[in-house]
Amino acid sequence: ASVLALFVAAWAGAAVRGDVVYVRASATGTSDGSSWQDAFTSFDDALGAARPGDEIWTALGVYSVPTSFGFLAPDGVSLYGGFVGIESSTSERLATNRSHLTGFHPFRANIVLTLMNPTPGTVIDGFLFDGTLTLDHNGGGLAVHGGVITVHNCLFFDNIAGSGAGVYLSNTNATFTDCEFDNNFCQVGDGGGIEAVGSGSLTVTRCFFHDNLARELYGVVGRGGGIFAERGFRIGARGVEVAQAD
């Protein structure tokens, strides 16, 4: 009985860890996501196939949103980009490599990626988010509603939204490390780089904010070109550099 219990516990632990789902735009295999050779060529297909505990590894390339509502990440799935397409560990990636998730094609979407109530341990690491265009939508590059999220080595560039053009956080506990926020623009609202509303926590470490804008429009004053957070959010910042954020 004790041996059986150990076996069941070990099996359960392996199930929680999940599998790796591979994405590579140039893959020519069976496109089932089981290896770099047989990787999905569509990022959206990988999101649809992933299950809680899985990791999606995405090779360098450009992956366009499937609709104007962008990509929707499934619960409990971490996303890693910046792979060449031969790695067997996330530690083999170069920090300068980022896989490109874009709202540019075939239209300019409202948002690139949305997460709903991500579970503790959920990670987004090694992506470029760009290309959104909307007047009144909350969130451009990334929107996280509830839950806990860690974002590492991501670039949010040239996103235009109503508010939270780079990133929109609602009732979320979020950590950003080694990220860049460049040229994100709020049409009418707050938080050119990051907007955090409701309650939660936001920790920003070694991040760079450059030329993000929250403008005044129709008499509505935009607040926080770099970061805007409501009073319900606990804020921590270390090693943050801001340049020309209005």
Task: Tell me the per-residue pLDDT of 167-204, one tens digit each, with 9 for 90 and over.
Answer: 999 999 999 999 999 999 998 889 999 999 999 999 99
Q: Residue 2: is its pLDDT beyond 60?
A: no
220, 187 Cβ separation under 8 angstroms: no
SS3 231: coil
Q: What confidence score (pLDDT) does residue 115 get?
A: 98
| pTM for this predicted structure | 0.90
- Rounded to whole angstroms, the Cα distance separating 240 from 246 reads 16
Of residues 105 and 83, the one with the higher pLDDT is: 83
- Rounded to whole angstroms, the Cα distance separating 219 from 32 reads 52
Q: pLDDT tier at 8 (50, 70, 90 boundaries)?
A: very low
* 155, containing H or E segment: strand 155-157
Pairing of strands 241-243, 208-210: parallel
- Rounded to whole angstroms, the Cα distance separating 114 from 71 reads 6
184, 165 Cβ separation under 8 angstroms: yes
| pLDDT, mean over the chain | 90
In percent, the amount of the chain with pLDDT more than 90 equals 78
- Rounded to whole angstroms, the Cα distance separating 208 from 226 reads 9
Q: Residue 4: is its pLDDT beyond 80?
A: no
Segment among 59-73, 104-118, 175-189, 212-226 with least mean pLDDT: 212-226
46, 58 Cβ separation under 8 angstroms: yes
Q: What confidence score (pLDDT) does residue 217 get?
A: 67
Q: What confidence score (pLDDT) does residue 68 get?
A: 86
Q: Output the CA torsion 228→204→119→5 (10° steps).
A: -160
Of residues 135 and 3, the one with the higher pLDDT is: 135
